[in-house]
Amino acid sequence: YALGSESRAMEELSEFYARVSGIVSQRPRSAAENSTASAVGSCKDYGHPGAEPGATIVPDCHHAEGCFFCDKFAVHADEQDVRKLASCLHCIGRTTHLSESKEHHEAIYGPVIKRIETILHYVADLSDTKGAMVIRVRAEVEEDGELDPYWARKLDFLIDLGVVRA
């Protein structure tokens, strides 16, 4: 019994790792690429979301958090997409106080935060150069406020509304 559960756990971990590696593209961006840019990466088939196996959030083309669990979601292992992901994390962190409770926030954003962290760790583990880039971009976002333009506008809007402090 114990061997069965351990082997199943390893199989599930291998499947998860394969899904994450399928999300991250190491190829350079191309103008001819058949994908649509999004706030958190890109989409291989915008408007036709499909749930990946074991998705904890229903894929939705109108909400960024739905992208993370869609089988069409893709991320380039480059500064642009790392900044998008780090900026999304930053904005989630800045809006934690808006949730009804810590449990409510965890239920809604916990899976998204975990997915973003997993993708960023995967990119960082690709090479020393990629690892240094992820560390640098995360610091630029968190410490210097150098967010991706989409997330900067979103945060500015929340600040203007008085929902988040500057």
User: Buried (b) or exposed (e) across 104-115, using 16+ Cβ within 10 A?
Assistant: ebeeebebbbeb
Query: Are 164 and 94 within 8 A, CB to CB?
Result: yes
Distance CA 95, CA 135 (A): 23
Q: C-alpha 88: how far from its chain's center?
A: 7
**125 Cβ contact list (under 8 Å, min separation 6):** 131
Instruction: Answer yes or no: is pLDDT of 159 > 60.
Output: yes
Region 66-93: mean pLDDT is 95
Question: How high does pLDDT run on average in the chain?
Answer: 88
What is the number of other CB atoms lying within 10 angstroms of the CB of residue 80? 14
**Tokens encoding 56:** 């904890």
Average pLDDT over residues 4-17: 61
Please provide residue 25's backbone torsions phi and psi, each rounded to the nearest 5 degrees: -100, 130
**Dihedral sign computed on CA atoms, order 149, 150, 154, 157:** positive
Instruction: Report pLDDT for 2.
Output: 46
For residues 56 and 101, the model is more confident at 101
Structure confidence by residue, pLDDT tens digits, 119-153: 999 999 999 999 999 999 999 999 999 999 999 99
**pTM summary value:** 0.86
**pLDDT in the model for residue 1:** 39
Note the pLDDT tens digit of each residue in 83-119: 999 999 999 999 999 999 999 999 989 999 999 999 9
